[in-house]
């Protein structure tokens, strides 16, 4: 496992960028039984960050930058289905995962206030490999009509880089950035409750998954 190798070879981590992401028109289920979009965009980064948090906490002042999207304000969290399997619509699969990323970032800032600065950033619409099924009807439509208006990867990375290295951002931990600037996003209804509930429920979900996976592996070896 990557986290085991990382923890055994690295003393401390000063900057972590969670940039993995995907957007699909077709619904895919992973080998873990989760929606691909939710696992790649949210659950995977959450789990990996959790596994290497000890190395981040050894840094005098580390930064965690999570890549989200401005569409998160259109989303909702289904606490009964953190795996994302119930959501069929491709837009809401993506938006819901990015809302979870945004709320998780606020939770990181709340739970690690002393030496962790966490930010969530909107890179803009970027020409990248995030669109997995480009040959689908939706993928071909975007490529033919919208790609000309998208940013290239260098342009799209600038806000992320800004949050990694710009000085004096610690006081804005838990905040949202776009175009290298702090954004005054309207708070979601009951946002503070959502932040804490998602933090607790995601940790519980992943802990239960680990236990279930280990039980299955034990049965296979019997």
pLDDT averaged over every residue in the chain? 87
Q: How confident is the model at residue 221 (pLDDT cuts 50, 70, 90)?
A: very low
Burial class (CB in 10 A: 0-12, 13-18, 19+), 208: exposed
DSSP characters for 33-82? SSBHHHIIIIIHHHHHHHHHHHHHHTSSSEEEEEE--GGGGG----TT-T
- Give the domain extent around 15: 10-204
3-state secondary structure of 27: coil
The verdict on residue 142 lying in a domain is yes
pTM of the model: 0.87
Give the span between the Cα atoms of 42 and 83, in whole angstroms. Answer: 10
The verdict on residue 211 lying in a domain is no
pLDDT confidence of residue 209: 82
pLDDT confidence of residue 73: 86
Top mean pLDDT of 72-81, 140-149, 164-173, 209-218 is at 164-173
CATH code, 48: 3.40.50.720
Check whether 220 has a pLDDT greater than 50: no
Top mean pLDDT of 122-126, 137-141, 160-164 is at 160-164
pLDDT confidence of residue 124: 80
pLDDT confidence of residue 151: 75
Q: How confident is the model at residue 217 (pLDDT cuts 50, 70, 90)?
A: low
The verdict on residue 222 lying in a domain is no
Give the span between the Cα atoms of 64 and 9, in whole angstroms. Answer: 20
The verdict on residue 126 lying in a domain is yes
Give the span between the Cα atoms of 181 and 186, in whole angstroms. Answer: 15
pLDDT confidence of residue 184: 75
pLDDT confidence of residue 219: 39
- 89 versus 220: the higher-pLDDT residue is 89
Check whether 125 has a pLDDT greater than 60: yes
The verdict on residue 125 lying in a domain is yes
The verdict on residue 213 lying in a domain is no
pLDDT digits (tens, 9 = 90+) for 128-155: 666 555 566 565 655 656 666 677 888 9
The verdict on residue 162 lying in a domain is yes
Q: What is the tally of structural domains in the chain?
A: 1
pLDDT digits (tens, 9 = 90+) for 87-107: 999 899 999 999 999 999 999
The verdict on residue 128 lying in a domain is yes
Q: Which residues are catalytic?
A: 94
3-state secondary structure of 108: helix
pLDDT confidence of residue 173: 97
Q: Find the mean pLDDT for residues 67-79.
A: 91
Least confident interval from 54-58, 151-155, 188-192: 188-192
Q: Find the mean pLDDT for residues 21-29.
A: 90
pLDDT digits (tens, 9 = 90+) for 29-49: 999 999 999 999 999 999 999
């Amino acid at each position: 496992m990557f986290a085991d190798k990382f923890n055994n070879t690295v003393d401390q981590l000063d900057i972590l960028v969670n940039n993995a992401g995907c957007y699909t028109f077709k619904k895919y289920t992973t080998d873990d039984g989760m929606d691909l979009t939710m696992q790649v965009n949210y659950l995977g980064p959450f789990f990996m960050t959790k596994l290497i948090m000890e190395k981040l906490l050894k840094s005098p002042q580390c930064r965690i930058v999570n890549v989200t999207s401005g569409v998160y304000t259109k989303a909702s969290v289904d606490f009964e289905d953190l795996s994302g399997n119930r959501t069929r619509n491709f837009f809401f699969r993506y938006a819901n995962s990015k809302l979870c990323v945004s709320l998780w970032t606020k939770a990181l800032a709340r739970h690690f206030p002393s030496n962790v600065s966490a930010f969530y950033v909107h890179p803009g619409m970027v020409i990248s490999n995030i669109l997995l099924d480009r040959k689908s009807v939706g993928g071909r439509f975007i490529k033919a009509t919208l790609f000309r208006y998208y940013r290239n990867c260098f342009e799209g990375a600038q806000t992320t880089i800004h949050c990694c290295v710009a000085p004096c951002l610690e006081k804005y931990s838990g905040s949202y950035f776009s175009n290298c600037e702090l954004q005054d996003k309207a708070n979601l209804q009951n946002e503070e409750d959502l932040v804490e509930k998602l933090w607790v429920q995601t940790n519980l979900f992943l802990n239960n998954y680990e236990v279930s996976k280990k039980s299955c592996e034990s049965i296979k070896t019997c």
